[in-house]
A and B are shown apart, each in its own frame.
Chain A
Amino acid sequence: MNNNIKQFFKKLFEYKDSTPYNFTLPETQEEKSELNTFSNFPPEEANTPNNSEAKEVFPTLSVNMEIIKSRYNTLINSDIIIRSFSLTARDKEYSAFLLYIDGMIDATSVNHFVLDPLMLRNTANTYKDSNIVETRTAISNNIVLKKVKKFNLADYIYKHLVPQNSVKKLTEFDEIASSVNSGNCVLFVDTLNIVFDIDAKGFKQRSVDKPDNEIVIRGPHEAFVEAIRTNTSLLRRIVNNEKLIIENLEIGELSQTKCAVCYMENIANSDLVAEVKYRLNNINIDYLTSAGQLEQLIEDNGKVSLPQLIATERPDKASNYLLEGRVIILLNGSPYALIAPGTFLDFLSSPEDYNLKYKFSNFLKMLRILAVLITLLLPGLYVAITNFHQEFIPTELLFSIVASREAVPFPIFFELLIMEISFELIREAGLRVPSPIGPTIGIVGALVLGQAAVDASIVSPILIIIVAITAIASFAIPDFSLGFHCRIARFSYVILGYLFGFLGIAITFSIHAIILCSLKSFGVPYLQPFVPVTKNFKGILLSPPWKRENRADFLNVKRQKRQDNISMKWKT
């Protein structure tokens, strides 16, 4: 007891070092070197072994193993597996090891179709013969001439011991690393300066599911996933033609993200394909993880918020564009395909358009155009009309607007700004909160806040209607990026509409139109086909399926004709 009390007081009054824990990341190289001089750790360079600089595979297994160990930091990295074993070939044993990443390979495949044939004794690896193999024999002047071939271990393993459908021979450590990182396993054999890259991928991935953001009623219900190979297979299945070319590229110095450029060889303009590949090949970045990031890296004008490439999660939509002569870009790890080039009209089209009767599609298209106009102009027009052009609307309506604003102490501009920003906040909050609470946010935001704001005379009821119509219209824009652009751009219409009425709206509209006119997407003017008008221009509406004889001429495709002039031959 006495001891406890003593301990208590000792702890209470004991001197404690009050130096606070302070960790700061050095911001500059000089700072870093300064820190290193005081630090107990050796400088970073000292940690890096020279082994990592090796490029070619060595014939000595132990050297290769050391390089791999240092390159992958196997002492720290827990999921890098190096499985050493002895393989038997022609009844001789060779040291070997298998390199793979745990969780990325299919263990059953590796066990049964890689390790089994290599390690267990079977007729293939125990077959005895001398090292000399006769390939051809000829007798000339009673002398037997034999053409012989020396036993080649690499060929033997390749042909007899690895019963896998996809095996490649690699010689460089960079290739090996890229292959292992993508989920393959690599076989190193002593005395060989090549390695075997065996496709045994088996990582978990999302299965093909319904699209989340581009929902249609009558179309297919498949969406792209994160795995690039699954996505290319989805395209292949729909296009069903050997002229579909899928070229692979790697982007990112460190991430080496796989990217596929897909196009129809007999349709797509070669210059367009070359331009897409040129841009993709000339991206000098460390890593790339999403299609959105890639879109910004290859679009023509990064300063403009308008979308310049079509992003879709629907393979059917991507295939339609592919068959029209566009180029599709798929990125490993992203469930969105990018389509180049993208014109303004494309962003007003929905994948549903081709599934519905053309009259319905055109009606919907007109609605979408109206939605864009409402989203952009309605709040600005409301401010301009109420401030400058009151005579524009009927007197009764004007009276009701004035009456509803009687108790509101703020100017219309401020009132509108409050509501628009509140709405954007509600929208953003609705996206971020867990899905079960999402609808609650909507109810709280729209009903409670809106009603409360009107009751508290912060805003007028007519303004709530204006903001609500604008919000609904913004949701009707089929492309997310275009919708976003309209949402942002409408604030400039509001500001200038408030300052100068229709003159301000005209100025903003003109600047907007000029930007649209000056934009290009992969060499195609953004407002094609109507500005400038192209030869086959048939209006912005969709023609009936039997009148869609030609592909878009602004793409300058190799195969202009899409169908015969009389496509419904059964009628003739």
Chain B
Amino acid sequence: MDYYKIGKVEAIALILILMLNRLILTLPKNMYLLTGNSILINAVWVIFLMFLFVFLLIKISKKFVGQDLIDIAEFVGGKFLKVIISTAYIVFFVSISGIILRDFVEGIKILYYSQIPTWLLASLILVIPVVANLHGGNSVIKFNSIIVFITLISLLVILISSTTTYVPQKFFPILGNGINETFFEGATNIYAFSGFCFLFFVMPLLKSSKDFKKIGIISTIIGSIYLFFTLASLLFSFSSLVSVYEISPIYLIMRSTDFGIFFQRPDAIFVFTWILTLMSYLSVVIMFTSIIFKKITNIKTTKYLPYILVSLILIICLIPSNLAQIKTLEDTYYRYFNVVLVFIISPIILVIANFKKRKSMEGAKIEKNL
């Protein structure tokens, strides 16, 4: 697969794609269920944590220009750690994609395609990642840039138009389910930014490594704005009873918003953009998984890898037998696997790598002085 060097816009789009998918699906609802009415305070807290994380990441990545997490893991713990981390990320990407796909398919099945079997809908969506990856990494990245742009605009339209239904009194009680749920347990809501795991892999693709800082900060700002306003719409527009519906909260916001006489219910057009977003996300995931897979194996080409990965995603997608299982998987497996891998293990590896690098540099200095 060929990769060209990407600019800031494409990199930001790569980082945002997973987050947008989660926002469209059940992420806001899961966050709400944990914190209750204090969701906005929790959102500010999570955003603050996220900024800390991104600044830390920028700082500790400075010494590893042009290297991704897999290279850094190899530097820290040799091939063993490299394989462990790579495998963890491959499992993470494939399993999360399967769950997200199933979640989405169940959603559109309820809305429009009750007659079409789940496996067929999932297979249809998975055609695009295969096609995109067969056309090369460049196509995936460019395609993703277009789709993220469209999705951001469509989400913005929904969020702006939903402001007419806001009831500010729903902000109370301020601390929602309690301080513990808002700040301590609520800190796990940082998994809303799980898409930022691509930050660990985007470095070698960048045209200029100096852009890494800007990319990290801009994508955090955009992501934070969208997260905050999505949660605000959910909080101010619905009562807590409605927000536990199984259908995507953003979809509910859209359904309850008046768009004028001609487009009475434009939800289908938004669902259309979300299908595109999911397809783009799956394409990106397969691209990164292929990159990681190539790094730990000696395969000459990743040309046929998309077929295998897509098959795995489809199998995982079809494993849960009902919606309840998917929700449980999302709320437990996805949340904790994500937090542990992306926000704990990966930064720890980077910190250790920094120490190791510093030591080796100091050692080299001493040798020079001697």
Contact residues in A for B132 (Cβ distance below 8 Å): 510, 514
Would you call B272 and A502 a contact (CB within 8 A)? yes
Would you call A531 and B7 a contact (CB within 8 A)? no
- Tally of A interface residues using CB under 8 Å: 29
Residues of A494-510 contacting chain B, CB below 8 A: 500-507, 509-510
User: How far does the alpha carbon of A384 sit from the alpha carbon of B267 in the complex, in Å?
Assistant: 14
B10 within 8 A of A: yes
Q: Which of A391, A509, A532 contacts B265 (CB 8 A)?
A: A391
Would you call A392 and B128 a contact (CB within 8 A)? no
- Min CB distance, B206 to chain A, in Å? 12
Would you call A531 and B145 a contact (CB within 8 A)? yes
Which of B66-74, B108-116, B163-171 interfaces with chain A? Answer: B108-116
Contact residues in A for B146 (Cβ distance below 8 Å): 513, 517, 531
User: How far does the alpha carbon of A509 sit from the alpha carbon of B146 in the complex, in Å?
Assistant: 12
Whether A503 touches B142, Cβ cut-off 8 Å, given contacts A388-B112, A392-B263, A395-B264, is no
Contact residues in B for A24 (Cβ distance below 8 Å): none
Would you call A506 and B142 a contact (CB within 8 A)? no
User: How far does the alpha carbon of A489 sit from the alpha carbon of B138 in the complex, in Å?
Assistant: 23
Whether A515 touches B135, Cβ cut-off 8 Å, given contacts A394-B264, A502-B268, is yes
Would you call A389 and B136 a contact (CB within 8 A)? no
A110 within 8 A of B: no
Q: Which of A385, A395, A510 contacts B279 (CB 8 A)?
A: A510
Q: Which of B128, B262, B264 contacts A510 (CB 8 A)?
A: B128
Would you call A514 and B264 a contact (CB within 8 A)? no
User: How far does the alpha carbon of A505 sit from the alpha carbon of B145 in the complex, in Å?
Assistant: 19
A511 within 8 A of B: yes
- Min CB distance, A500 to chain B, in Å? 7
Contact residues in A for B318 (Cβ distance below 8 Å): none
Contact residues in A for B113 (Cβ distance below 8 Å): 388, 500-501, 503
Contact residues in A for B138 (Cβ distance below 8 Å): 517-518, 525
Chain B, residues 6-42, CB within 8 Å of chain A (1/0): the string is: 1101100000000000000000000000000000000
Would you call B145 and A506 a contact (CB within 8 A)? no
B139 within 8 A of A: yes
B131 within 8 A of A: yes
Chain B, residues 167-210, CB within 8 Å of chain A (1/0): the string is: 00000000000000000000000000000000000000000000
Contact residues in B for A505 (Cβ distance below 8 Å): 272
Chain B, residues 263-280, CB within 8 Å of chain A (1/0): the string is: 111111101100110011
B143 within 8 A of A: yes
B261 within 8 A of A: yes
Q: Which of A393, A501, A533 contacts B112 (CB 8 A)?
A: A501
Residues of A529-563 contacting chain B, CB below 8 A: 531-533
Contact residues in A for B136 (Cβ distance below 8 Å): 518
- Min CB distance, A551 to chain B, in Å? 19
Whether A525 touches B142, Cβ cut-off 8 Å, given contacts A500-B113, A506-B279, A533-B9, is yes
Q: Which of B108, B135, B266 contacts A518 (CB 8 A)?
A: B135
Q: Which of B124, B147, B264 contacts A507 (CB 8 A)?
A: B124
Would you call A517 and B128 a contact (CB within 8 A)? no
How many A-B pairs have beta carbons closer than 8 Å: the answer is 101
A527 within 8 A of B: yes
Chain A, residues 387-421, CB within 8 Å of chain B (1/0): the string is: 01101111100000000000000000000000000
User: How far does the alpha carbon of A138 sit from the alpha carbon of B22 in the complex, in Å?
Assistant: 100
Most buried by A among B113, B136, B265, B272: B272
Contact residues in B for A509 (Cβ distance below 8 Å): 276
Would you call B128 and A511 a contact (CB within 8 A)? yes
- Min CB distance, B347 to chain A, in Å? 30
User: How far does the alpha carbon of A481 sit from the alpha carbon of B9 in the complex, in Å?
Assistant: 31
User: How far does the alpha carbon of A532 sit from the alpha carbon of B268 in the complex, in Å?
Assistant: 29
User: How far does the alpha carbon of A120 sit from the alpha carbon of B261 in the complex, in Å?
Assistant: 93
Chain B, residues 233-270, CB within 8 Å of chain A (1/0): the string is: 00000000000000000000000000001111111110
Contact residues in A for B81 (Cβ distance below 8 Å): none
User: How far does the alpha carbon of A395 sit from the alpha carbon of B275 in the complex, in Å?
Assistant: 25
Would you call B124 and A500 a contact (CB within 8 A)? yes
Q: Which of A394, A502, A518, A533 contacts B271 (CB 8 A)?
A: A502
Whether A517 touches B135, Cβ cut-off 8 Å, given contacts A394-B262, A500-B116, A531-B146, is yes
User: How far does the alpha carbon of A503 sit from the alpha carbon of B121 in the complex, in Å?
Assistant: 9
Contact residues in A for B266 (Cβ distance below 8 Å): 392
User: How far does the alpha carbon of A525 sit from the alpha carbon of B2 in the complex, in Å?
Assistant: 14
B91 within 8 A of A: no
Q: Which of A394, A501, A502, A507 contacts B261 (CB 8 A)?
A: A394
User: How far does the alpha carbon of A531 sit from the alpha carbon of B272 in the complex, in Å?
Assistant: 21
User: How far does the alpha carbon of A525 sit from the alpha carbon of B145 in the complex, in Å?
Assistant: 14
- Min CB distance, A267 to chain B, in Å? 25
Interface of B is mostly: helix
Whether A533 touches B7, Cβ cut-off 8 Å, given contacts A392-B266, A394-B261, A514-B132, is yes
- Min CB distance, A298 to chain B, in Å? 21
Contact residues in B for A525 (Cβ distance below 8 Å): 138, 142
Residues of B63-117 contacting chain A, CB below 8 A: 108, 112-113, 116
Whether A514 touches B265, Cβ cut-off 8 Å, given contacts A505-B272, A506-B272, A525-B142, is no
Would you call B268 and A506 a contact (CB within 8 A)? no
Would you call B142 and A527 a contact (CB within 8 A)? yes
User: How far does the alpha carbon of A181 sit from the alpha carbon of B141 in the complex, in Å?
Assistant: 52
Most buried by B among A504, A510, A513, A533: A510
Contact residues in A for B265 (Cβ distance below 8 Å): 391-392
Would you call B143 and A517 a contact (CB within 8 A)? yes
B127 within 8 A of A: yes
Q: Who on chain B is nearest to A505 by CB?
A: B272
- Min CB distance, A80 to chain B, in Å? 54
Contact residues in B for A391 (Cβ distance below 8 Å): 264-265, 267-268
Contact residues in B for A533 (Cβ distance below 8 Å): 7, 9-10, 145
User: How far does the alpha carbon of A385 sit from the alpha carbon of B108 in the complex, in Å?
Assistant: 15
Most buried by B among A388, A500, A502, A525: A502
- Min CB distance, B154 to chain A, in Å? 13
Q: Which of A394, A518, A532 contacts B10 (CB 8 A)?
A: A532
- Min CB distance, B253 to chain A, in Å? 16
User: How far does the alpha carbon of A389 sit from the alpha carbon of B132 in the complex, in Å?
Assistant: 27
Residues of B320-366 contacting chain A, CB below 8 A: none
- Min CB distance, A389 to chain B, in Å? 4
User: How far does the alpha carbon of A527 sit from the alpha carbon of B267 in the complex, in Å?
Assistant: 29
Would you call B262 and A532 a contact (CB within 8 A)? no
Would you call B124 and A503 a contact (CB within 8 A)? yes
* Known A392-B263, A532-B145; further 11 A-B contacts with Cβ < 8 A: A388-B113, A392-B264, A503-B108, A503-B124, A507-B125, A509-B276, A513-B146, A514-B139, A514-B143, A518-B135, A532-B6
Interfacial residues, chain A to chain B (CB-CB below 8 A):
385, 388-389, 391-395, 500-507, 509-511, 513-515, 517-518, 525, 527, 531-533
Interfacial residues, chain B to chain A (CB-CB below 8 A):
6-7, 9-10, 108, 112-113, 116, 121, 124-125, 127-128, 131-132, 135-136, 138-139, 141-143, 145-147, 261-269, 271-272, 275-276, 279-280
Top 5 nearest A-B pairs by Cβ distance?
A517-B142, A389-B268, A518-B139, A518-B135, A506-B275
30 contacts between A and B (CB under 8 A): A388-B112, A392-B265, A392-B268, A394-B261, A395-B264, A500-B116, A502-B112, A502-B272, A503-B121, A503-B124, A503-B125, A504-B124, A505-B272, A506-B275, A506-B276, A507-B127, A507-B279, A509-B276, A510-B276, A513-B143, A513-B147, A514-B139, A517-B142, A517-B146, A518-B136, A518-B139, A527-B142, A532-B145, A533-B9, A533-B10
